[in-house]
Amino acid sequence: MTQLDSRGAARWVGQSVRRREDVRLVTGRGRYVDDVTMPGLLHAHFVRSPVARGALTRVDATAARQQPGVVAVLTAEDVNPSAHSFWVTMMGPDAARAPMRVLADRDVRYVGEPIALVVAESRYLAEDAAELVDLDVDPRPAIVTIEQALSNGERVHPELDTNLSGEIPAVADHELDRLFAEAARVVTATLGQHRYLCVPMEPRGLIAAWDPWQQRMEIVASTQTVHETRAQWSRLLAVPEESIRVVMGDVGGSFGQKMFPGREDHAVVIAAKLLGRAVKWIEDRAENLIAAGHAREESMEVSLAVEADGRITAARAHHLENVGAYPIFGDGMSAPTAASMFPGPYHLRRLAFSAQGTYTNTSGHCAYRGPWMMETTAREQMIDIVAGELGVDPLELRRRNVIQQDELPFTTATGLVYTAVSPAETLEQAAGLIGYEAFRKEQEEARARGRYLGVGLSLYIEPQFGFGVLGTEAATIRVEPSGRVNVLMSTGSHGQSLETTVVQVVADELGVSIDDIRFFQGDSAATPYGPGTGGSRSAAIASAAAMQASQQVREKVLLIGAHLMEAAPDDVEMACGAVSVKGDPAAGVPLAQVAAVAYLNTDALPPGVPPGLETTARWKAPMFMFSNACHAATVEVDRVTGQVTLLRYVVSEDCGNMINPMVVEGQIAGGVAQGIGGVFYEHFVYDGDGNPLTTTFLDYQLPTAAEVPDFEYGHVVTPAPTPGGFKGMGEGGAIASPAALINAVRDALRPLGVKITAQPLTPDAIVQAIERAAG
Amino acid sequence: MAELDVTVTVNGQRRRLRVEPRKTLADALREDLALTGTHLGCEHGVCGACTVLVEGQAVRSCLLFAVQVDGADVTTVEGLTPADGSLSPVQQAFRDCHGLQCGFCTPGFIVSATAFLAGHPRPSETEIREGMAGNLCRCTGYQGIVRAVRQAAAAQAGGAHDAAR
Amino acid sequence: MKSAPFEYVAPATVDEAVRLLAEHGDEAKVLAGGQSLVPVLALRLARPGVLVDVNRVDGLAGVRRDNGRVRVGALTRHAAVERDPDLAAAVPLLARAAPLIGHFQIRNRGTIGGSLAHADPAAEWPAVALALDAELEVRSSGGQRTIAAADFVVSTFMTALEPDDLLVAAWFPVWGAGAGFAVEELARRSGDFAIAGAICGVQVAGPAVTRAAISLLGMGSTPLRARAAERRLTGARPDDLDLEEVGQLAVADCDPPDDVHASGSYRRRVGAALVSRALARAMREAQGEVQDG
């Protein structure tokens, strides 16, 4: 139901407007990369390493090349010389990274590493030919775990003299030492997290078409960002940026996995150029599980200095990350961001944070929804562990440590300044919604009857970054001569509903209906430069640009409309798609008429007003913005089978003003489901030789509708200091939920003395933890 | 093997294909008939993105070969869409309830939910969740999807009630 | 993830089907529901030269009551078993196991014969067949024979079927009055292959248990009969039984596998609990209480 303002004009922002995207998507008329075809399109399929580490002594494609329908089989010697550069804009050319190559050359460094590319008339034929490529691989012992990488003298990358992809060294800090020495108690634990994955429902893929006559590359990609991919491929191929056009249509989810192109994408782009053809590559699910970017395999050792009253004054944390063989960008480490966010919403005075990222013979690290989330996973579990040791309720312990409103602006131990956050308020709202006190009674009664119920909390701050590539967003608004409004954005929405939310913002600012606005994004030739969509920032920052552009257009519309009505500009307003005198909405000049004058009948323009109704606004984002939320979960654990039933899940969210509450809640829900999946069901497993064991959906198990309860939401609104007051929040569901869920299980099994320090919490793992506690 | 001729009724239209036996129904729909609404999410029968109706029954089209449906009736998501540009009750419910975000799993859910509701006019909460458990979604956390199926069931029940009067 | 090439034939009769199987031998694979076979083909874990599609074979599906037994045609879909009220009354275990198989989309195509022939150690039908001492009716170009369920599944994904055999039906006995049945499974998610499962049937006459059948799935490379546990039950008074102990006895000799989903020791622990829970429900039904499905 649309809200109307005092003039009877619709107000769209703040309403759960139904999505513009949906009509084409529910009818099956979305256009994903595999839906795109063109004459002469060829199909690619990769030959991949069957072994995690070894010498690649022979790649014989003779038989494969002879297969009917096979156009080419390309190996490292064909492809790699065409790859001139691999760096991503965000990290710059000098950032540390693995010694990159497109196709494996002389050795292999993870199972699934691409060795050769078959290009054929169909995917079926390409797969047939791929089987005929003869490989000789001489296996060597693989380095699979962080421990092995740190202790093994063998190198994942022989070009480097270390298995460390990066390091934040421990630094002496006397003030920290003093706080620890003076603390009433020091609580230490090492918390582990397993490897789990983005798993978008649409795997990776792209079409690259090189026209040798025009020397132009046209690319349709399943990506989060057309401009960054264009930039990278321009550098890769050493061709001018303007000779490459990258377009994204509908994209079937990503969660960070498609933020940067992978080696396969590079290989396909190079193949298209070498062959002068259009080449399509669509990853299948086994490839997506085995060889697309991986995430989350980390551990953190945390020591907290705790006062007698439970105040946590200082922390030491050492963060280990398994970044695989070829992290998708840079050194693959989330540690720098994890370090800065570790204090979370608490009064922590001092933090010493060190970290190591290790290369291993496994699939490389990619961003996955809140890549730095280990800081919350570890910190929030530590709060509960400290609470347990002190005999204080975890809710109460958080109350004693959380930042209050009257302490803002608050500078954290890592130098971040919070100005507009509400952690204490969300803590109370979440506790209220889940009925915390009543639950404790219910829990006690259940325990008396031999049943194990538990509640877990997770309180966190979510950052949005606005520097470097992420520093600006742009919106071009064009009112066409017909009066229709076209909005061209720098975003790369792939499920974030920007086609609806940005249009809501523009509709309000311009005073037109959302039905009169068309949204465009994701065409490097047409839409303004931007970072695409990722990092929880699109709606907040892109909408600020859209607002600015809308305001500029509106000002001009009012000038022209006033002139046409022979009124003073201050006496007119824009609403319901027309310029009218304030207080007299009936007689107005429709936007179409204003536009006709602006483009076609320019002599009728007011003096000094240039023709046209189009503008681009580029908005500079603040370096940091922060949203925050509190998650609360209740569970029951079956002591015999170790199965966990999720009873309730509550989120109290503060992301400032909400453009579309339905969209906000949808983003939370998706993230929480990924946390449920990660904690209880999903585990990407390698054996001791680096062979992946969970290579299909039969073994890598995603939660279904039957495993996820109804989520409940509360909202707190602390507007951002930006136009519109919107904040990003898309990653938060996946950042906070694991700790809430693990804490709930820990709380349920507390009477049995169970210690939980690792994931996933499968029934077997829970039973083993119970048995260990029983001694 | 040489290609075989297949005659199949798809969305009410008789279509003729000439396909290798190993070509899946999913691939044939997408490539030979340009019905790209049916999606490939796993190609091993788990995710349900490829769900279509064969003789009115919801099945995974990635686990059927096109040659197997010779003479049969197939309905895809495109065939569940009313010809006049409106949305079916299930499609409308998904839109009303924010049952989709990226949309990739959505056609499979639309087909499965349509078939499920045909067989379960008054589903319980548990039945809805188990009925939808054969389709995977990564974006929505299933919240909007379960709400959509509830709404579509209620709309169906309401309609049936009216018809009975 | 596309299958390797194969020849395709779709016979219309059992005679034609077995003739084709004889002709092609090892190169042929029977395509029934395809829910297990086609993923194997797509992953290129198998590449048969000839696929013999039996979905058009006359008379291969269907349920028939025959003299104290029920004959379920091999091509009968799980969904048909799930929805058949007469079958549910005659052989309740079939109706109770069916809804646990995958999801309804799988059940619309998957067949009881295909599931039996595929012999996944965590599948329901082989364990139900074993519990009920079903008989498997097999045809080949050499004629017809019957294989007892206990002899049917040899190992993981391996049965006593020869390459040129076609499983055409499974015969299940109908237990008389005073019978109770239950299926208890532990699966990670709704519809998954079970990590462990128990299939139980008991019959009570007068004060004592007169008959007991317990089979286990997911506890070994084949479904397993828990004969020691059955012997403990037979002849005993229901009230005298410690079902937890019987559950432990049922799994005592099992050596379940370790895999990514669960360890062998976990399977044994859970298997025991599932047996006792299933026996408790089956007993209640056998003694006249209404089964809660």
pLDDT of residue A6: 60
Dihedral sign for Cα atoms in the order C13, C17, C19, C20: positive
A51-55, C17-21, C236-240, range with the lowest pLDDT: C236-240
Dihedral over alpha carbons C77, C82, C84, C85 (to 10 degrees): 170
pLDDT of residue B158: 80
Closest residue in chain C to residue B42, using alpha carbons only: C1
- The answer to whether A388 and A193 have CB atoms below 8 angstroms apart is no
Residue A5 has pLDDT above 80, yes or no: no
pLDDT of residue B164: 41
- The answer to whether A733 and A651 have CB atoms below 8 angstroms apart is yes
Tell me the average pLDDT across A214-240: 97
Reported as a single tens digit per residue, the pLDDT across A696-743 is 999 999 999 999 999 999 999 999 988 899 999 999 999 999 999 999
Longest dimension (CA), chain A: 91
Chain centroid to CA B125: how far? 21
Residue A4 has pLDDT above 80, yes or no: no
Task: Kindly state the helix (H) or strand (E) to which residue B154 belongs, with its residue range.
Answer: helix B143-164
Contact B58 C108 (CB under 8 A): yes
pLDDT of residue C289: 72
Reported as a single tens digit per residue, the pLDDT across A143-169 is 999 999 999 899 999 999 999 999 999
Which residues lie below 8 Å from residue A283, measured CB to CB, with a gap of 6+?
A203, A204, A205, A264, A292
Contact B139 A733 (CB under 8 A): no
A698 contact residues in C (CB cutoff 8 A): 39, 193
Q: Which residue has the tokens 């309804």?
A: C104
What is the residue-wise DSSP string for A434-475?
Answer: HTHHHHHHHHHHHHHTT-EEEEEEEEEEEEEE-SGGGGEEEE
Residue B161 has pLDDT above 60, yes or no: no
Is A772 in the C-facing interface, judged by CB distances under 8 Å? Answer: no
Tell me the average pLDDT across B27-34: 98
Buried b (16+ CB within 10 A) or exposed e, C4-42: bebbbbbbeebebbbbbbbebeeebbbbbbbbbbbbbbb
DSSP bridge partners of A30: none
Reported as a single tens digit per residue, the pLDDT across C168-198 is 999 999 998 999 999 999 999 988 999 999 9
Distance from CA of B98 to the nearest CA of A (A): 7
- The answer to whether A277 and A210 have CB atoms below 8 angstroms apart is yes
C187 contact residues in B (CB cutoff 8 A): none
Whole-number Å distance between alpha carbons of A733 and A261: 25
Contact A706 C273 (CB under 8 A): no
- The answer to whether A536 and A495 have CB atoms below 8 angstroms apart is no
Distance from CA of C49 to the nearest CA of A (A): 14
C59: alpha, beta or left? (left if phi > 0; alpha if psi -120 to 50): left
Nearest of C69, C84, C183, C195 to residue C133 by alpha carbon: C69
A495 contact residues in B (CB cutoff 8 A): 101-103, 139
Q: In this complex, which chains have at least 3 CB pairs below 8 Å with chain C?
A: A, B
Tell me the average pLDDT across B47-76: 98
Q: Which residue has the tokens 């079903």?
A: C134
In chain A, % of residues over pLDDT 70 = 99
Distance from CA of B45 to the nearest CA of C (A): 7
Q: Please, what is the angle between helix C264-286 and helix A763-774, to 10°?
A: 100
Task: Kindly state the helix (H) or strand (E) to which residue A753 belongs, with its residue range.
Answer: none
Residue A333: HSE in the Cβ half-sphere, 13 Å Cα cutoff:
26
For residue A583, what pLDDT band results from cuts at 50, 70 and 90? confident
pLDDT of residue A775: 83
Tell me the average pLDDT of chain A.
96
Task: Kindly state the helix (H) or strand (E) to which residue A725 belongs, with its residue range.
Answer: none
Contact C8 B64 (CB under 8 A): no
For residue A584, what pLDDT band results from cuts at 50, 70 and 90? confident
Q: What are the tokens at A485?
A: 């409004």
Nearest of B135, B129, B148 to residue B105 by alpha carbon: B135
Nearest of A414, A418, A434 to residue A426 by alpha carbon: A434
Rg (CA), chain A: 28
**Helix ranges restricted to H, A5-88:** 22-26, 62-65, 76-79
DSSP bridge partners of A618: A474
Whole-number Å distance between alpha carbons of C250 and A393: 43
Contact C270 A124 (CB under 8 A): no
Q: What are the tokens at C143?
A: 């004629």
A164-168 and A70-74 strand pairing: unpaired
Q: In this complex, which chains have at least 3 CB pairs below 8 Å with chain B?
A: A, C
Three-state DSSP class for residue C252: coil
| Interface probe with A: pick from B87, B91, B104, B129, most Cβ of A within 10 Å | B104
User: Tell me, what DSSP letter sits at residue C49?
Assistant: S
Residue A445: HSE in the Cβ half-sphere, 13 Å Cα cutoff:
6
> In angstroms, what CA-CA distances link A702 with A682, A684, A694, A699, C181?
6, 11, 12, 9, 32
Contact C7 B64 (CB under 8 A): no
Tell me the average pLDDT across A79-106: 94
> Torsions phi, psi of A210, nearest 5?
-105, 125
**Count of beta carbons in the 10 Å neighbourhood of residue C292:** 8
User: Tell me, what DSSP letter sits at residue A654?
Assistant: E
Distance from CA of A416 to the nearest CA of B (A): 31
Is C46 in the B-facing interface, judged by CB distances under 8 Å? Answer: no
B96 contact residues in A (CB cutoff 8 A): 18
Tell me the average pLDDT across A385-410: 98
Residue B160 has pLDDT above 70, yes or no: no
- The answer to whether A637 and A644 have CB atoms below 8 angstroms apart is yes
For residue A89, what pLDDT band results from cuts at 50, 70 and 90? very high
B11: alpha, beta or left? (left if phi > 0; alpha if psi -120 to 50): left
Longest dimension (CA), chain B: 57
For residue C291, what pLDDT band results from cuts at 50, 70 and 90? low
**Among A285, A694, A767, whose Cβ lies nearest the Cβ of C269?**
A767
Contact B105 A21 (CB under 8 A): no
Residue A468 has pLDDT above 90, yes or no: no
Whole-number Å distance between alpha carbons of A28 and A30: 6
For residue C292, what pLDDT band results from cuts at 50, 70 and 90? low
Reported as a single tens digit per residue, the pLDDT across C51-95 is 999 999 999 999 999 989 999 999 999 999 999 999 999 999 999
- The answer to whether A579 and A589 have CB atoms below 8 angstroms apart is yes
Contact C1 A699 (CB under 8 A): no
Reported as a single tens digit per residue, the pLDDT across C132-179 is 999 999 999 999 999 999 999 999 999 999 999 999 999 999 998 999
Contact C189 A767 (CB under 8 A): no
Q: What are the tokens at C31?
A: 């395509």
Residue A108 has pLDDT above 80, yes or no: yes
Residue B156 has pLDDT above 60, yes or no: yes
Q: What's the pTM?
A: 0.97
> In angstroms, what CA-CA distances link A455 with A345, A362, A648?
20, 36, 9
**Among C38, C104, C189, whose Cβ lies nearest the Cβ of B131?**
C104
Contact B103 A674 (CB under 8 A): no
For residue C290, what pLDDT band results from cuts at 50, 70 and 90? low
Contact A710 B134 (CB under 8 A): no
> In angstroms, what CA-CA distances link C55 with A198, C21, C68, C113?
38, 15, 28, 12
Contact A640 C269 (CB under 8 A): yes
Give percent helix, percent strand, percent coil of chain C, each to the nearest 5: 35, 25, 40
Tell me the average pLDDT across A351-355: 98
Is A123 in the C-facing interface, judged by CB distances under 8 Å? Answer: yes
Tell me the average pLDDT across A212-229: 96
Closest residue in chain C to residue B41, using alpha carbons only: C1
Whole-number Å distance between alpha carbons of A55 and A106: 6
Residue A106 has pLDDT above 60, yes or no: yes
Closest residue in chain B to residue A730, using alpha carbons only: B139
Q: What are the tokens at A66?
A: 């002879």
pLDDT of residue B163: 42
For residue B162, what pLDDT band results from cuts at 50, 70 and 90? very low
- The answer to whether A482 and A595 have CB atoms below 8 angstroms apart is yes
Tell me the residue type at A366.
C
- Side by side, which strands form the sheet with A485-489? A517-520, A485-489, A472-479, A614-620
Q: What are the tokens at A685?
A: 């497993």
Q: Which residue has the tokens 């944390």?
A: A317
Whole-number Å distance between alpha carbons of B131 and B112: 8
Whole-number Å distance between alpha carbons of A764 and C265: 9
- The answer to whether A560 and A570 have CB atoms below 8 angstroms apart is no
Cβ-in-10-Å burial (0-12, 13-18, 19+) of A103 comes to buried
Closest residue in chain A to residue B102, using alpha carbons only: A495
Dihedral sign for Cα atoms in the order A237, A239, A241, A244: negative
Contact A23 B44 (CB under 8 A): no
Tell me the average pLDDT of chain C.
96
Q: Which residue has the tokens 């997408």?
A: B30
Is A693 in the C-facing interface, judged by CB distances under 8 Å? Answer: yes
Cβ-in-10-Å burial (0-12, 13-18, 19+) of A665 comes to buried
A285 contact residues in B (CB cutoff 8 A): 41-44, 47
pLDDT of residue A1: 46
pLDDT of residue B159: 62
DSSP bridge partners of C179: C203
- The answer to whether A230 and A246 have CB atoms below 8 angstroms apart is yes
- Side by side, which strands form the sheet with A54-60? A107-108, A54-60, A134-139
Q: Which domains does chain C have, with CATH numbers?
A: 7-53 (3.30.43.10), 63-173 (3.30.465.10), 179-286 (3.30.390.50)
B143 contact residues in A (CB cutoff 8 A): 665-666, 669, 708, 710-711
Chain B residues contacting C via beta carbons under 8 Å: 1, 4, 20-22, 24, 27, 43-45, 48, 51, 57-60, 62-65, 67-68, 112, 115-116, 119, 129-131, 133-134
Three-state DSSP class for residue B151: helix
C192 contact residues in A (CB cutoff 8 A): 701
Q: What are the tokens at A120?
A: 């054929």
